[in-house]
Each structure stands twice: as structure tokens, then as C-alpha cells.
Structure 1
Amino acid sequence: MARDITLREALELQEKHSHTLVDVRSPKEFKEATIPGSMNIPIFTNEERAEVGMLYKQVGKQAAMDHGLVIFSKKLPEFIAEFRKIDTPITVFCWRGGMRSKTAATVLELMGIRSSRISGGIHTYRQRVIARLQETIKPKLLVLNGYTGSGKTKILHKLMEDGYPVIDLEGMAGHRGSIFGQIGVEPNNQKKFELLLANKLERYENEPYIFIEGESKRIGQVHMPELLFEKKGQSPQWIIQLPFEVRVKEILSVYEPEKQPDLFLEAFTRIRKRIHQPIAVQIQKDLENGRFTEAVEQLLTHYYDPQYEHSVARFATIGQDVIQAATIQEAYEKCLKRYKELMK
């Protein structure tokens, strides 16, 4: 018989041993938030889960259970086959450690596949995340700031690739942090953002410093926890300064407006009223006619740069370290050099 284990036990098995955590909830639930490092082998598809849930509300628990059994029994061979591909010990979980994970563990046991089950399900992990985000953040933050297009995200990614402690807020949010930030990326909801963030904070809790970008409190559809936002605002800022033309090229390279011009036009309409009318008209014409370099130049000059200059004024009493560079690579190298000096 499958045994129940605590979330702590499951995470320790995952970290210290060869062990696989399997989320048996629907693909939609898995996508919205799961325990990091888990895989998804769902009992029900998104549509089947909705169907069973509707029956539960309209008829009752027993009718929903009976219908769920009919659905699941038809896919048992496929379900078991997916678990047979796993060559490590297995722990399954659902939302609260209820019917779905119990069914999965029971069926696996009958088919000779040993497994355990997380008591309380992913709900216990959600509680852990909430508690973690309310704790004091021990490491100091090194905040990369600078005008739009200064390559801050690329610098963070390069630092992360090279093994340095980085919290990529935009990556966790699934948003690049500007009015055009949703184009070409898939957004995460607040639960998943917090889950990813808590996981990083726990991972880096014994580091002296963590690199982070100077984001606003709201990033796309999500917002930073209060403690992190306050600490970020009180931390010294490393201001990346690149030539204007380099910034324009960087924005064009990242966003590739020529591939989805309609989306850029649509996004521009949301800020058009904040820009002086003759200039706004010209930017729209440039976007409509594929003159993206000209449009970006005008957006930086008349919208993004003034916004940044207004926001950066509050850092005057905190401490700023200006990093001037001709390229993003040079800026990265200067950031890394200063970090190593701090670590001496």
C-alpha cells in the first residue's frame, strides 16, 4: 500500500536522492503552478476535469466519482505506461492530497509500481511559499538599473548561466516589464510567480548577494511581494549606461517588431495618450509603415527615458554606481568585476 509522506520528506527525497515527483492534476492546473522539478501525468484532461467538476456541483459527489471512474478506466493502460517510463522512486500529489492522488497511488500499487503520496498535496507547498515570502530576505541585493534597452536582462541571464545568484523577475512573471512586454512571451499567474520566487529565495538564502533587476512593483500580470519590493528599493543601484544607438538595436533585437507589427500597434494605443500628440502621430505612422528603428528612437526619447529619469531620482539617497560601457558584454564584465571585488 502506498504510504503518505510530508511535503518536507518529498522535497528532501527530490533534492538528495534520485526521486521523481508526479503531479496528477490536469495540464491546466500543472501549468498554473506546481512543485518545481515535478512532471505531469494527469488523471483527467482539462475538459474531463471540468466535466467531472460540473457533475459534482449539479448532481453530487457520488455521481461525479462514478463518471470520473468511467473516464479514467478507459485510459488506465496509457496512464500506467507513462509511469513505467520513470526509472526512479515515485511520489504523486494533487491539490490537497485527495481523491486523485489516492486513486493514482492505489492503481500504481495494483500494477506493481511502488509510490508514495504527499499528504496535503500541493496546497501545503502553497502555504510554504506564502510563509517564505513573508520572511526576512537575508542576502543583500545588487540591483541592475538603467534606461530601457540597456541589456539588464541579458546581463542577468549571462550571470545566471555562469553560476551566479540571480533572481530573474521578468522571466518568472513571463513579461518583459514594458507596455510591449507581453509580446512573444507567455505570462505566469501570481501563484506561479510566487512559487518560482520563493524557490529562488530559499535556494540563495545563504548567499551574501543576489543580482536582481530594478523592476516596478507590478510586472505584467503579477506583483512583487512587499518585503522584496521594499528591500530592492533600499538597495544600492548599479546603473547600466549604454550608447543610445546600442539601446535601440537591443530593443529591436529582443522584440523583433517586424514579426508581429499588429501587436506593437495595439500595445502602442495604450500609451499613445501619454505622449505629445504630434510625436504620437508620427510614432504610429512609423509603426504602420515598418519604420521600427524610428519608432523606437521616438519612444525612448519621448516616453521611456523621461519615465526612467523620474523614477531614478529616488535613488539619490540610496547610492548609485554608474557602469558605463560601449556594449552589453562590456557592461556584463564590469558588473562581474565589481561583484568579485565585493566578495573579497
Structure 2
Amino acid sequence: MFHDITLEELLKQQHNENHTIIDVRSPKEYNETTIPGSINIPVFSDEERAEVGTLYKQVGKETAKERGLEIMSAKLPEFIARFQEIDTPKTVFCWRGGMRSKTAATVVDLMGIDVSRLQGGVRAYRQWVVSELEKADFPPDIVVLNGNTGTGKTTLLHQLAEKGYPVIDLEGMAGHKGSIFGHIGVEPNIQKEFESQLVQSMRKLRDAPFVLIEGESKRIGKVTMPEFLFDKKEQSTQLFINLPVEQRVRNILDDYQPWNQPEKFIEAFDRIKKRIHTPVAKQIDEDLKEENYHQAIRLLLEYYYDPKYTHMFEKYLKDKTKIFETTDMEGAFSKIENELFKMYPQKAKSM
């Protein structure tokens, strides 16, 4: 017989061993928010879940259960096969540790596959995430990678992470690149998923002497940074990168490749063009429509992003701000790494 485990027990197992957690909810539910690191082996597809839910509301519980059993029986061989492919300890969960996870755990257990079920499901996990954020407790120093739009901050963060530096990628968690074009080509996350990933990263990096993050606004796409983290970021050391405009334009073009989805870039610009002096806005609009992206990006930097960044830069304390002049991305990475070595010599030596 399968056994239930608490969220605390699951988190310990995840930390101490290679453990697979399996979300048996529908793909749509899974894609909206789940426990980070889980895989999806759904009891019902999105359409099947809707059908069973409708029967439950309009006909009754027993009819819905019968239809659910019929659906599950037809896909049982494939469902079991997915579990048999996993050679690590397994825990299943659904929304609140109810019928779907109980059904999944029961049939898998009957086939001789050891499995546990998470008490309270995703709801219990969500309650834990909220409680962790309410504590507002994250001991490491924050080091903020900052700079004008196009300085390649996200690329530099990824390079530092690959080299072993402690990094929290807020844009990656938000599913947004932070600019007016930041939603293009990525799948935005909802607040619950953002907070879930953030808490897991904070938990993992809690004992690090410092953590690198990017200089973000409080709002990133559709999500909002927790107040305590935003305040700590604002009061932390800011490493500003100054790159020539031409290099920044190249970085933006390499990153976004607007020629692949030109209509979306025009739509995005339409939302902010009223904030730019009319003749300049008109020129940018024409450049985007004529696919003259180099000039369009350059004008956006000069007349929209850089003035905003200058205003933002002035609010930081001078003794917390360090500026690095460089001509390319390689130079930026080298200067950032050298600064980290000065600030945290013991940690940097281990990289």
C-alpha cells in the first residue's frame, strides 16, 4: 500500500537524495504552476478533466467518478509504463492530495511500484511558499548586476552561473526579458509559479555569502518581486556596466532577433510610443515597419531607455555603486569577476 508523506518530509528527501516528484494533474494545471523539479504524468488530459468536472457539477459525484474510472482504465498501460521508466524514489501529488493522486498512487502500487503521495498536494506547497516569503528572511548579501538596456546583463548572469557563482535569474523565473519586447518569444509565468521558483532558489542559496541578481524593476512582466527582496536589492551593491551604444544595439539584435516576429515588435512599440517625442516615435515606427532594426533600436536606447536609466542611476548611494567601463562582453565579464574576487576572495577562489 502506498504511504502519505508531508511536505516537510518531501523537501528533506529532495535535498538528500535523487527523488522524482510527479504532478498527476492536467497539463494546463501543470504548466500554470507546479512544484519546481516535478514532471507531469497526468491522470486526465485538459479535455478529460473538463468533461469529468462538468459531469460532477451537472449530474453528480458518482457519475463523474464512473467516467473518470473509464478514462483512467483505457490509458492504464501507458500510465504505468511512464512510472516504470523512473528508477528513483517517487512521490505523486495533485491539487490537494485528493482523488487524482490517490488513484494514481493506488494503481501504481498495485503494479508493484513503490510510491508515496504528498499530503495536501500543490495547495500545501503553495501555503509553504507564502509562509517562506512572509518571513522575509534571506541572509546572503545581494550583488546587483546593473547597466543600461542592452549591456547583456542576463547573458553575463548566465555565464557567471555556469562558472559556479550563486545566481538568482529573476527574468527566467518571470518568463520575461524585462523590456517592452520582453514577452516576445518566451512564455510568461503567473505570480504563483514565479514565487515558487524564487523560494526554491532562495532555499538552495541560503548559506551562500552573496547572490548575484539583475537590476530589475519591482514588476517583471506579469509578476511582482516580493517587497523585502526588492528593498534589499535597492540597498545593495550595484555593479554598473557601461558598454558603447553600438555593442548594446548588437546585443539586443542578437538576443531578440526581431526579423523573426516583426509584427510583435511593432505591436509592443505601439504601447509606449506616446511617451517618446513625436518625430522620433514616428521615425522608430517607420524603421520597425521597414525592418531597419539597427536604427530603431538605437533611437529607442537614446530617447526612451537611456533617459529612464539615468534617472534610476541617480537614486543609488555612491558608496554602493561601482562603474565598469568596457568595450565588449568579454571585458565586462572579466571586470565583474575581478570585482567579485575583491569583494568575496574566499568564495571567488573556489570558482
How high is the TM-score relative to the length of structure 2?
0.95
Amino acid at match of 1:29: E
Amino acid at match of 2:86: I
TM-superposition CA deviations, 1:261-296 (whole Å, max 9, x none): 111111110011111111111111111111100101
Alignment of 1:278-297 (within 5 A): 278-297=279-298
Aligned residue in 1 for 2:86: 86
Q: Distance in 1 between matches of 2:61 and 2:344?
A: 59
Displacement over 4 Å in runs of 4+ = none
Task: Report the Cα offset of residue 57 of structure 1.
Answer: 2.0
Alignment of 1:100-115 (within 5 A): 100-115=100-115
- Please, which runs of 5 or more residues in structure 2 have no aligned partner? 346-351
Aligned residue in 1 for 2:348: none
Aligned residue in 1 for 2:26: 26
Secondary structure in structure 1 of the residue aligned to 2:327: coil
Alignment of 1:224-243 (within 5 A): 224-243=225-244
Task: Report how many aligned residue pairs link the two structures.
Answer: 344
Task: Report the Cα offset of residue 134 of structure 1.
Answer: 2.0
Aligned residue in 1 for 2:207: 206
TM-superposition CA deviations, 1:87-127 (whole Å, max 9, x none): 12221111111101110111112112121111111211111
Alignment of 1:1-344 (within 5 A): 1-135=1-135, 136-316=137-317, 319-344=320-345
Secondary structure in structure 2 of the residue aligned to 1:117: strand
Task: Report the Cα offset of residue 219 of structure 1.
Answer: 0.6
Task: Report the Cα offset of residue 59 of structure 1.
Answer: 2.4
Task: Report the Cα offset of residue 133 of structure 1.
Answer: 1.5
Amino acid at match of 1:113: I
Bigger shift: residues 56-65 or 291-300 = 56-65
Aligned-residue Cα RMSD (Å) equals 1.2
Q: Distance in 1 between matches of 2:319 and 2:272?
A: 30
For residues 318 and 123 of structure 1, do their structure 2 counterparts lie closer, same or farther at Cα, with a shift above 3 Å needed?
Answer: farther
Task: Report the Cα offset of residue 317 of structure 1.
Answer: 5.5
Q: Distance in 1 between matches of 2:140 and 2:86?
A: 37
Amino acid at match of 2:163: D
Secondary structure in structure 2 of the residue aligned to 1:321: strand
Aligned residue in 1 for 2:349: none
Q: Distance in 2 between matches of 1:36 and 1:272?
A: 38
TM-superposition CA deviations, 1:60-106 (whole Å, max 9, x none): 32222121111111111111111111112221111111101110111
Secondary structure in structure 2 of the residue aligned to 1:145: strand
Amino acid at match of 1:236: T
TM-superposition CA deviations, 1:231-278 (whole Å, max 9, x none): 111112111101111101111110101111111111110011111111
Task: Report the Cα offset of residue 167 of structure 1.
Answer: 0.7
For residues 104 and 341 of structure 1, do their structure 2 counterparts lie closer, same or farther at Cα, with a shift above 3 Å needed?
Answer: same
Q: Distance in 1 between matches of 2:49 and 2:224?
A: 29
- Please, which runs of 5 or more residues in structure 1 have no aligned partner? none
Amino acid at match of 1:193: F
Q: Distance in 2 between matches of 1:10 and 1:125?
A: 10
Q: Distance in 2 between matches of 1:122 and 1:312?
A: 40
For residues 336 and 317 of structure 1, do their structure 2 counterparts lie closer, same or farther at Cα, with a shift above 3 Å needed?
Answer: closer
For residues 318 and 58 of structure 1, do their structure 2 counterparts lie closer, same or farther at Cα, with a shift above 3 Å needed?
Answer: farther
Secondary structure in structure 1 of the residue aligned to 2:315: helix
Task: Report the Cα offset of residue 318 of structure 1.
Answer: 6.2
Secondary structure in structure 1 of the residue aligned to 2:307: helix
Task: Report the Cα offset of residue 154 of structure 1.
Answer: 0.7
Secondary structure in structure 2 of the residue aligned to 1:167: coil
TM-superposition CA deviations, 1:144-202 (whole Å, max 9, x none): 11100011111100011111110111111010011110111111111111011001111
Amino acid at match of 2:256: Y
Bigger shift: residues 187-196 or 131-140 = 131-140
Secondary structure in structure 2 of the residue aligned to 1:315: coil
Secondary structure in structure 1 of the residue aligned to 2:324: strand
Note if contact 1:234-1:318 (Cα within 8 Å) is conserved in structure 2: no
Amino acid at match of 1:231: K
Task: Report the Cα offset of residue 12 of structure 1.
Answer: 2.1
Q: Distance in 1 between matches of 2:53 and 2:231?
A: 41
Bigger shift: residues 286-295 or 55-64 = 55-64
Bigger shift: residues 47-56 or 299-308 = 47-56
